Amino acid sequence: MTKRGLQYFTLSEIEPRIWFMLTGCNFHCKGCFRPARDEGGTKLTAEETLERMEQACLNYYGKVPTEAMITGGEPTLDKEYLLSLVRGLKAKGFKKIVLMTNGYALGLDESYVPELEEAGLTEAHVDVKAFSEDVHKWYTGESSKPVLRAIERLDASGIKLVVQTVYMPGIVEAQEIEKIAQFLASVNRDVGYRINPFAPIFAYERVTRRPTLAEMERAYEVASQYLPNAIISRSCYREYPTPPPQKTWITVYPDLTVKRRGMEDQREDRLSWLSEVKSRESVVKDWRKEEWDFSLRRSLVGISESPARQSDPKGETGQGPLKVKFPHSLHGLTKTQETELDLDGATTVREVMERLAAKYSDKFRDTVLNVDKGDLITIKRSFNVYLNGVDIESLQGMKTEVYGNDEIIILSWVSGG
């Protein structure tokens, strides 16, 4: 039975969900930001990995969850191991099993995708680093053709497909993204496509700079001409509410020791990894700068950088309608990206939510709100509500006052990537 290196599991603090971080990769992306790409971790068979996963989840949640994300590094390197892992997860009752991959091995081996589907894989997130062969080879060391073939095979299977690309100024820009979008549209124009901004602080080699908002918007415009389900977001392989990022997460190591880790711990991991190619001082300096620079991240999800406005119902700010923006996941229900509500004086977030539920059906209420027997209404854990750019949880929750001209943004969690 073959073994693979397991760096750690990550457990969600939001709802039962587990990530498997496997080590090793067949690509050598210059801008890689994952220490797991190198060999390392504890070598385990798929059965041993599943046993430790089960124990980690029982210890932390008291049960085994139903959602798993298999990531790395590159999880597809050992087919026998991956198929056994997916089969084992399915046998333990997992309903959503997501593979995050560069797709290369799936394109080389014709039977890999059908076997993964049969094993129980439900979703695959494939990174397309570049479309052009020369760019792809220069950046990853390998051809793009198997990756593109993998996308065709996944689309033809019953596995849900999501594709992502990192925007890298001077390397993968709107023109390259247009080629990827054209290719994807030729396969299936309804495929989900996410464009993430390059983050040099995390990169093994600082091959380029962060893109500007204008560059990201341009790439989005180009991609959406071909793909109605294109979005721009930031790269992330855990889960974050967006924004602000989740400050801590639960890491369980293969020996089952548990640590609640935060940005400082992540910085230390990256520092020791990057110290192979950069000085510690320069990484620390960049990290500090990056940690405070959420402007692009916020702009990408439409959050204003300005602090919450102190609305004044008697002044000019309280006279206009309230604007409400919906996340992509609710557009099917609302049939619109945003709406306006006329307010007769001050109201509360709770009343706004009730008006939205009345306007958009019980399905909206069931999807977004928890209503308990005592008529207490809260926002479901999979959504965040922001008033003028500030999470209502840091204000007065559902009792937060709202005035005309205010802006409410409902966001759903971003995961994977």
Prior bond of 244 cis (ω within 30°): yes
As measured in angstroms, the least distance from the Cβ of 20 to ligand SF4 is 14
Per CB under 6 A, the list member of 21, 29, 98, 148 interacting with ligand SF4 is 29
Is residue 270 part of the contact set for ligand SF4 (CB under 6 A)? no
Q: 125 forms bridges with which residues in the sheet?
A: 100, 162
CB 134 within 8 A of CB 177: no
Name which of 248 and 275 has its Cβ closer to ligand SF4: 275
Is residue 27 part of the contact set for ligand SF4 (CB under 6 A)? yes
As measured in angstroms, the least distance from the Cβ of 416 to ligand SF4 is 13
Q: Tokens for 160, please give them.
A: 């849900």
Span from 21-29, 46-54, 259-267, 321-329 in contact with ligand SF4 (CB under 6 A): 21-29
As measured in angstroms, the least distance from the Cβ of 215 to ligand SF4 is 20
As measured in angstroms, the least distance from the Cβ of 74 to ligand SF4 is 5
Which 64-93 positions form the footprint of ligand SF4 (CB under 6 A)?
73-74
Is residue 102 part of the contact set for ligand SF4 (CB under 6 A)? yes
Per CB under 6 A, the list member of 17, 34, 52, 125 interacting with ligand SF4 is 34
Name which of 100 and 322 has its Cβ closer to ligand SF4: 100
319/342 Cα distance (integer angstroms): 9
As measured in angstroms, the least distance from the Cβ of 331 to ligand SF4 is 30
Determine the number of helices (DSSP H) and then strands (DSSP E) in the chain: 13, 22
Span from 25-33, 51-59, 301-309, 380-388 in contact with ligand SF4 (CB under 6 A): 25-33
Prior bond of 88 cis (ω within 30°): no
Choose among 85, 182, 169: nearest CA to 131. Answer: 182
Is residue 37 part of the contact set for ligand SF4 (CB under 6 A)? yes
As measured in angstroms, the least distance from the Cβ of 237 to ligand SF4 is 9
Per CB under 6 A, the list member of 6, 18, 22, 25 interacting with ligand SF4 is 25
Could you write out the DSSP letters of every residue in 203-241? -SS--S-PPPHHHHHHHHHHHHHH-TTEEE----SSEE-
As measured in angstroms, the least distance from the Cβ of 25 to ligand SF4 is 3
As measured in angstroms, the least distance from the Cβ of 36 to ligand SF4 is 7
Amino acid at 363: K
Give Cα separations from 311 to 74, 92, 320, 348, 396 (angstroms): 49, 52, 11, 13, 15
CB 71 within 8 A of CB 35: no
Is residue 197 part of the contact set for ligand SF4 (CB under 6 A)? no
According to DSSP, the β-strands at 67-72 and 96-101 are parallel
Span from 29-37, 181-189, 278-286, 381-389 in contact with ligand SF4 (CB under 6 A): 29-37
Question: In the Cβ-directed half-sphere of 258, how many Cα atoms lie within 13 Å?
Answer: 15
| Binding-residue total with ligand SF4 (CB under 6 A) | 10
Q: 415 forms bridges with which residues in the sheet?
A: 239
Which residues make up the interface to ligand SF4 (CB under 6 A)? 25, 27-29, 32, 34, 37, 73-74, 102
